[in-house]
Structure formats: structure tokens, C-alpha cells
Amino acid sequence: MDDLKGPALLELLTAADHRLVRTVDSLPVGAYAEPSGLPGWTRGHVVAHLALNAEALTAVLLGIAQGDVPPMYESQERRDADIDELAAADPAELRARLMGSTTGLVDAIGLVPDDRLHVMVERTRGSDRTFPAHTVTGMRLREVEIHHADLAADYTPTDWPLDVAMFLVASLVDRPAEDGSFAVAPTEIGVTWQGGPSSAGRVVSGTAADLGWWLTGRGNGRGLTSSDGTLPRMEAW
């Protein structure tokens, strides 16, 4: 599922990038300073984060291709400050940074040698949060599709193509719930996916889009049903 150079995943990411850029390009200038769906963030913050996230992943992959392994971010504080700074930039600059970053990342993906795909990357310097290079395409697809919906700009989880929604469910189902384990059953395929080592007994059912949105800790579980009548509480992704 998390194959850096897998053509199917790259196609999903490229199409997701195009949808995101179209939405951002359609925003009126004044909309960037308006609230997004994320507490404390404007739409400008979301766009800034998406641009900087792509730039950070690009730097990681280029470093790996050259025999180095840089962290994704120097620190959490620096990451947050950079987002705040770019969010306040002129919308034209934000759009340009987003467009350039999406293109740059796809180019960088193709440069990583096959024998470097399992190199481990630190999220921040000295952090114990790491990820292997081969998961970057899937990581970025989640960022683009989830935060595209977070923009609160006429793109919602119901707009996710089915293959994207199914990917999100499959990649998020192992996230821990606050009140016990569970399994999920997307109605489009009629198959139950286990959400943890002891998920038997509680099954959450609904469309892949509704399940994917709920698994990020967003929304109120609208459209979902649970076999025991209660929905597990998910932490925010």
C-alpha cells in the first residue's frame, strides 16, 4: 500500500494534487484569512502547511537520493513558526509555493534509488517518530486529501474518489481509539477490516468516505453505525 514509486499510488497523488490546486486557485483573496475546518487555523494556514509539508518531504527524498538522511523538520517549533509566517503571505505567493511544491515532490519521488527505499527518516531532529522513505507517497496522499477537506472550501470527504477513500480507511484503521478497539466495514465492499489486535465484537459500518473522515477524528460519525450502538472516540489525526 505504501510503495513510494507504485504507479497506482502516484496516480492517486497526482490527481489529488490537481484537485487541491484547482480549489486553492478558486479561492477569493479574502478567503485565505477566513477560518478553515481546523481549530485556530485559517485557510491560509492549511495551504501553507500543505506547501511546506511537500517541500520538507522533497528535501528528505533528495537528501536520501544523495546519500544523506535529513530530518523532515528541524523542530516542531520551527515547523509551526514557518506555517504561521507563510500563512500571512500574499495569496499569490501561497498559490505559487503550493504549485511548485507539489511538482517538486513528484519529481523527487522518482530520484530515490530502489536500494534506499527503506531508509528511516526522523520527523524532527532527534525525535523517536520516524518513517521509512517508501511510505512518503502514501503519507502525502493522506495530507492532501484530508487537508483539502479541512479547507472548508466546497470539497468534502464525499468528493473523495472511492479508491482514495478506501486507501484512507485502510491506512487509518489501525489508529487507536480512546475507548477500545473496533473493526470497520465499508459498505461499498462488504468486507470487514480489523482495526486492532482485539477488535472482535464491535464493528463500525458506513461508506468509505464517512469512515475515513471519522478515523481522522473529525466530524461526529454522521452516517456511521456501530454493532454495539456506540462509536469509539478517535483522537484527531
26-47 pLDDT per residue, tens: 999 999 999 999 999 999 999 9
Strand pairing category for 183-186 and 203-206? parallel
Low-confidence winner among 54-58, 133-137, 159-163, 182-186 (lowest mean pLDDT): 182-186
Domain 159-226 has CATH 3.40.250.10: no
pLDDT reading at 199 higher than 60: no
pLDDT reading at 227 higher than 90: yes
- Cα–Cα distance, 79 to 127 (Å, whole number): 14
Per-domain boundaries in the chain = 7-155, 159-226
pLDDT of res. 5: 81
The dihedral sign for the CA sequence 84, 89, 95, 98 = negative
Cβ within 8 Å of residue 141, ≥6 positions away: 9, 12, 13, 16, 164, 167
pLDDT reading at 197 higher than 80: no
- Cα–Cα distance, 223 to 221 (Å, whole number): 6
Fold of 7-155: Four Helix Bundle (Hemerythrin (Met), subunit A) (1.20.120)
Query: Phi, psi (5° rounding) for residue 179?
Result: -135, 50
Residue 35: C-alpha distances to residues 46, 87, 98, 152 (Å): 10, 12, 19, 8
Mean residue pLDDT of the chain comes to: 94
Confidence label for 200 from pLDDT (cuts 50, 70 and 90): low
Q: Which residues are paired to 226 by β-bridges?
A: 204
Per cent of the chain over pLDDT 70 is 96
